[in-house]
A and B are shown apart, each in its own frame.
Chain A
């Protein structure tokens, strides 16, 4: 099992749609979880941390299921500017560094 797995997509949605991305991770000892956003030919940027109780930041909601080792990101009312690749990220077994998934590509059209 790969360390962090994501559906690569692409997800093509119209403006205003709700879209959900899923991610699974293999290290049951992971303690830190994040979603990053990466625009084409740019560096990854932290979108939000993911907490055990779930958390929301505006139109974005992140959920964590430790028992299933599953992380999700929900985007409501999609905007054109949401078009990007979304990276699921967890810390490694030693807690030393972050492991990045390959990303899920989102394309929002008008």
Chain B
């Protein structure tokens, strides 16, 4: 049982480039989330989804886009990378709104 899988684990982008961070879960969870974590800071919610075809903005959505075409996948898109997007990105899923999340191992992104 893989849980939540994120790819890539590391990436260096140049300013203005775009990329997609992949997130897949095999637990049939309806709820999925993207967070970013900057050094010494708490996790900040970027986007979330309560089911296939439904997405909504979190606390820090600017510069990002998401889609949820299937229950399993929740990719995060960066269109024009900026240095401020240098961070560690975590994808998470949960079965409902009451229980805790299962996190992926994260993607460390550096924008130079």
Q: Chain B contacts of A57 at CB under 8 A?
A: none
Contact string against B for A residues 61-94, beta-carbon threshold 8 Å, 1 for contact and 0 otherwise: 0000000000000000000000000010101000
* Minimum Cβ distance to chain B for residue A98 (Å): 6
* Minimum Cβ distance to chain A for residue B104 (Å): 6
Chain B interface, >50% SS class: loop
Is the beta-carbon distance between B100 and A49 smaller than 8 angstroms? yes
* Minimum Cβ distance to chain B for residue A60 (Å): 15
A31-57 residues at the B interface, CB under 8 angstroms: 31-32, 34, 36, 42-46, 49
Cα separation A18 to B40 with both chains bound (whole Å):
25
Known contacts A97-B45, A100-B43, A102-B40, A43 near B90 by CB under 8 Å: yes
Contact with A96, one of B48, B99, B102, B106 (Cβ below 8 angstroms): B48
Q: Is residue B74 contacting chain A, with contact meaning CB distance below 8 A?
A: no
Q: Chain B contacts of A34 at CB under 8 A?
A: 100
Q: Is residue B41 contacting chain A, with contact meaning CB distance below 8 A?
A: yes
Cα separation A44 to B33 with both chains bound (whole Å):
13
Q: Is residue B105 contacting chain A, with contact meaning CB distance below 8 A?
A: yes
Cα separation A44 to B103 with both chains bound (whole Å):
7
Is the beta-carbon distance between A43 and B105 smaller than 8 angstroms? yes
Q: Chain B contacts of A43 at CB under 8 A?
A: 90, 103-106
Is the beta-carbon distance between A91 and B103 smaller than 8 angstroms? no
Contact with B97, one of A32, A44, A101 (Cβ below 8 angstroms): A32
B37-51 residues at the A interface, CB under 8 angstroms: 40-43, 45, 48, 50
Cross-chain pairs A/B with CB under 8 angstroms, 20 sampled: A4-B42, A32-B99, A36-B100, A43-B103, A44-B43, A46-B100, A46-B101, A49-B99, A49-B100, A87-B42, A87-B43, A96-B50, A96-B97, A97-B33, A97-B45, A97-B58, A98-B100, A98-B101, A102-B41, A103-B42
Residues of A within 8 A of B (CB): 4, 8, 31-32, 34, 36, 42-46, 49, 87, 89, 91, 95-103
